[in-house]
Amino acid sequence: MQIFAGSSNQPLAKKIAKTTKSTFGKIDLSRFSNGEARVFVQEKRVKEKVAVVQSLSLPTDEHLIEYVLLCDALARMGAQDITAVMPWIGYSLQDKVFRKGEPLSAKAVAQIIQVSKAKRVITLDLHNRAILGFFDIPVIDLSARSLFIKYFRRSVNKKTFVVAPDEGAVKNSTSFAMDLGASIVYMDKKRNLTSGKVDIIGMSRSVKGNDIIIIDDIISTGSTLIETAKALKHAGARSIRVAVTHHLHVPGVQGKLDKSPIDVFVTTDTIANNNKSPKLVVLSVADLIGEELRY
Ligand code: R5P
């Protein structure tokens, strides 16, 4: 197999190539003077079986087009079995028509991804499993949970509580708490759909003197985690650590996290970033993806 990568996450793609003992295909990625994406595969031959690594991170729309063009170039050079390795699928949060007049963006994007003729998609911790149904090809939804369990396991004690920051996180957080042997706390969150403002209305039990682990799939504006952490601190939590699969690295958000009551922020490399925050711990998903590609 050959691994190719768009510009969104080359460090992860190189790790995947290493762990699968595959060659890392050379491509020239640049822009035409009118701003359009210019993709140029520099390999003389392209294998039948290739994987294309591209997260739909910021700038999302540019990364999406670049991915489609890269797959088109590879197919024209003989690739027949293309696996889209898309650790983070942008627009996943728009998985419903929340208000009349809005698009079903996650489905529209799934259809664009399929234009690439990829035979399958490998992703991680999909925001909503209903998104699987927006694709007509298999989507393998891996999870970073085993990495987080390994990271936290040694530090769990009787005072450790796992917190589900909102209704959508309840199922995942509950089974995460069970795997860790910790208790679970549910938060009641409300988000204003127009302003995006998040309010924590309540929590299911006292957290006074407890060590908290908040688990969530995505951090975008940071409001959910920061408001949850503030409410927990206010309620007497002793320490607050967070595990989030996809840190979208929206500009300015890490600074807000660093000033928040969160002590440690554990995330993965589904989205590339050079953030050097002392609170940030980044675990790699390369082996998880590599294992699936070898399968
Ligand atoms: C919500 O359903 C998600 O699981 C995350 O909690 C949410 O997307 C986080 O967004 P933000 O960082 O903007 O609060």
Percent of the residues in the chain that have a pLDDT greater than 90, as a whole number: 86
CB of 224 shorter than 6 A to ligand 1: yes
Is 217 near ligand 1, meaning CB less than 6 Å away?
yes
Q: Say yes or no: 129 and 174 in one domain.
A: no
- Band of residue 191 on the pLDDT scale cut at 50, 70, 90: confident
Q: Is 295 exposed, middle or buried (0-12, 13-18, 19+ CB in 10 A)?
A: exposed
154 lies in the same domain as 132: no
- Which residue is closest in CA terms to ligand 1's atom 2? 168
Per the CB < 8 A criterion, the answer to whether 54 and 83 are in contact is no
The total domain count for the chain is 2
Is the sign of the CA dihedral 32, 36, 39, 40 positive or negative? negative
Confidence of residue 214 (pLDDT cuts 50, 70, 90): very high
CATH of the domain at 128: 3.40.50.2020
Distance 220 CA to ligand 1 centre (A): 6
> Does 139 fall in a domain?
yes
Q: Which of 125, 218, 248 to mutate to test the pocket of ligand 1 (most atoms within 8 A of CB)?
A: 218
Number of Cβ atoms within 10 Å of the Cβ of 61: 12
Query: Do 10 and 138 lie in a common domain?
Result: yes
176 and 89 both lie in a single domain? no
Task: Fill in the amino acid letter for 251.
Answer: P
Q: What is this structure's pTM?
A: 0.93
Ligand 1: atom nearest CA of 248 is 12
Residue pair 163/232 in contact (Cβ under 8 Å)? The answer is yes
- Are residues 135 and 208 located together in one domain of the fold? no
Looking at the fold, whether 36 and 97 belong to one and the same domain comes out as yes
With a 6 Å cutoff on the Cβ, whether 93 touches ligand 1 is yes
Is the same domain home to 242 and 166? yes
Token pair recorded at residue 206: 């006292």
User: Which among 219, 223, 246 is the best mutation to test ligand 1's pocket, defined by most ligand atoms within 8 Å of the CB?
Assistant: 219
Residue 166 sits in the same domain as residue 253: yes
Same structural domain, 230 and 263: yes
Which residue has better confidence, 224 or 60?
A: 60
| Residues 133 and 257 occupy one common structural domain | no
What is the atom index within ligand 1 of the atom nearest the CA of 227?
14
Residue 279 lies in a domain: no
For a pocket test of ligand 1, which of 173, 216, 228, 245 has the largest count of ligand atoms closer than 8 A to its C-beta? 216
Q: Which of 129, 146, 144, 22 is nearest to 83 (CA)?
A: 22
Residue 125 to residues 29, 31, 149, 255, Cα–Cα distance (Å): 28, 32, 15, 25
Q: Determine the structural domain holding residue 169 and report its residue range.
A: 145-269
Task: Give the three-state DSSP class for 51.
Answer: strand
Active site residues: 189
The pLDDT tens digits for 84-111 are 999 999 999 999 999 999 999 999 999 9
